[in-house]
């Protein structure tokens, strides 16, 4: 790793899924890690395998005081945080019309405001050191967002903020990467999604959601190794898509967008301002001969 030979990681929600696999990969590589989770006692067995290199902390990413306390404890333990990994894996299924406001706000708290709050709080120290990396572990983009519109919106918000941060902090030697994984082979890392109250006209969306969930699988251990290699490369990519299926879905989405843009390109161009009328051309002045006092040569 270019910016530190002995990096310190802060991994949120480290008790499940890709974040848990990343925690194990980091420790197995001989690096140090603060592992934070709502119930950190579940990580005791992992910490026992790597004595002296792990700090377990309680963390609720929806609570600013909990975030502050965890980050302060991490810095007291290891002196700094070089790499932050924050997760955004919560799901809420249902059509836009079906969504319940309290559940939607909870989804954005978990998947957008929590990870961004963590990033905002580690950036000042990273800027001071002119080094660091922020990883935002997002849900894989759905092939079609119908029935997962709120998940898609939360992911889009996180992606937009990641892109802004990437361009804002790269001049300070800080990397920002949005990690776009597929689903794990056993599905164990993805919590059972909440579902909105159903409206009969949208009943067919549930089948589409089930089919989409089975199409993009990755091995979490290998995905974690890929993340380590991306971070070790320096500031790394803005977007890191993991797994061939997830990458193919990303390419497919870009192609669909291009087809739509091309189909309406002429109409889009019609909104351009009318070109300004050309200025009338002045008649060319006839040349005068030298020594004639400005008179035209005869």
Q: Domain boundaries in the chain?
A: 8-266
Say whether pLDDT at 298 is over 50: no
Helix (H, G, I), strand (E, B) or coil at 159: helix
Helix (H, G, I), strand (E, B) or coil at 218: strand
How many of the other CB atoms lie within 10 Å of CB of 48? Answer: 9
- 10 DSSP β-pair partners: 34, 84
pLDDT of residue 198: 83
pLDDT of residue 205: 79
Is residue 235 a contact partner of residue 39, using CB atoms and an 8 Å limit? no
pLDDT of residue 141: 75
The alpha carbon dihedral of 225, 229, 232, 234 has a sign of negative
Say whether pLDDT at 129 is over 60: yes
CATH superfamily of 8-266: NAD(P)-binding Rossmann-like Domain (3.40.50.720)
Reported as half-sphere exposure (CB side, CA atoms, 13 A), residue 111 has a value of: 24
Q: Which residue has the higher pLDDT, 34 or 211?
A: 34
Q: Which residue has the higher pLDDT, 284 or 115?
A: 115
Say whether pLDDT at 28 is over 50: yes
Is residue 2 a contact partner of residue 234, using CB atoms and an 8 Å limit? yes
Q: Mean pLDDT, the chain, as a whole number?
A: 87
pLDDT of residue 289: 55
Q: How far apart are CA 133 and CA 231, in angstroms?
A: 7
Helix (H, G, I), strand (E, B) or coil at 199: coil
The continuous run of DSSP H or E covering 195 comes out as strand 194-195
Is residue 7 a contact partner of residue 27, using CB atoms and an 8 Å limit? no
What pLDDT band is residue 297 in, cutting at 50, 70 and 90? very low
For range 98-102, the mean pLDDT: 89
Q: Which residue has the higher pLDDT, 178 or 234?
A: 178
Alpha helices by DSSP H, listed for 79-172, are 101-108, 114-129, 149-169
What pLDDT band is residue 282 in, cutting at 50, 70 and 90? confident
For range 111-136, the mean pLDDT: 97
β-pairing verdict for 92-93 and 174-180: unpaired
β-pairing verdict for 54-58 and 217-218: unpaired
pLDDT of residue 202: 86
pLDDT of residue 186: 40
Is residue 235 a contact partner of residue 133, using CB atoms and an 8 Å limit? yes
The alpha carbon dihedral of 59, 64, 69, 70 has a sign of positive
Q: How far apart are CA 119 and CA 166, in angstroms?
A: 12
Residues 6+ apart with CB under 8 A from 126: 81, 82, 132, 134, 169, 172, 174
pLDDT of residue 67: 97
pLDDT of residue 16: 87
84-88, 153-157, 253-257, 280-284: least confident range: 280-284
26-30, 70-74, 272-276: least confident range: 272-276
What pLDDT band is residue 236 in, cutting at 50, 70 and 90? confident
Tokens matching residue 13: 């929600």
Going edge to edge, which strands form the sheet with 83-88? 54-58, 32-37, 8-12, 83-88, 132-138, 174-180, 239-241
């Amino acid at each position: 790793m270019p910016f530190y030979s002995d990096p310190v990681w802060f991994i949120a929600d480290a008790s499940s899924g890709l974040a848990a696999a990343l925690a194990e990969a980091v420790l197995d590589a001989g690096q140090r890690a603060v592992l934070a989770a709502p119930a950190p006692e579940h990580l005791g067995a992992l910490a026992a395998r790597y004595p002296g290199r792990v700090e377990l902390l309680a963390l609720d990413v929806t609570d600013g005081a909990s975030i502050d306390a965890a980050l302060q404890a991490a810095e007291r333990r290891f002196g700094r945080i070089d790499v932050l990994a924050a997760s955004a894996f919560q799901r809420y299924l249902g059509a836009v019309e079906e969504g319940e406001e309290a559940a939607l706000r909870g989804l954005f708290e978990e998947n957008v405001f929590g990870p961004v709050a963590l990033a905002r709080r580690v950036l000042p120290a990273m800027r001071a050191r002119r080094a660091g990396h922020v990883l935002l572990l997002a849900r894989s983009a759905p092939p079609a967002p119908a029935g997962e519109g709120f998940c898609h919106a939360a992911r889009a918000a996180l992606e937009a903020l990641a892109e802004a941060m990437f361009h804002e902090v790269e001049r300070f030697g800080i990397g920002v990467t949005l990690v776009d994984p597929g689903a794990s082979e056993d599905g164990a890392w993805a919590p059972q999604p909440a579902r909105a109250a159903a409206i009969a006209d949208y009943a067919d969306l549930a089948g589409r959601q089930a089919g989409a969930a089975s199409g993009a699988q990755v091995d979490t251990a290998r995905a974690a190794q890929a993340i380590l290699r991306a971070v070790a490369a320096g500031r790394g990519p803005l977007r890191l898509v993991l797994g061939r299926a997830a990458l193919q879905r990303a390419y497919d989405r870009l192609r669909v967008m291009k087809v739509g843009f091309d189909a309406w390109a002429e109409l889009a161009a019609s909104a351009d301002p009318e070109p300004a009328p050309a200025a009338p051309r002045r008649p060319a002045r006839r040349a005068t001969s030298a020594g004639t006092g400005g008179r035209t040569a005869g």
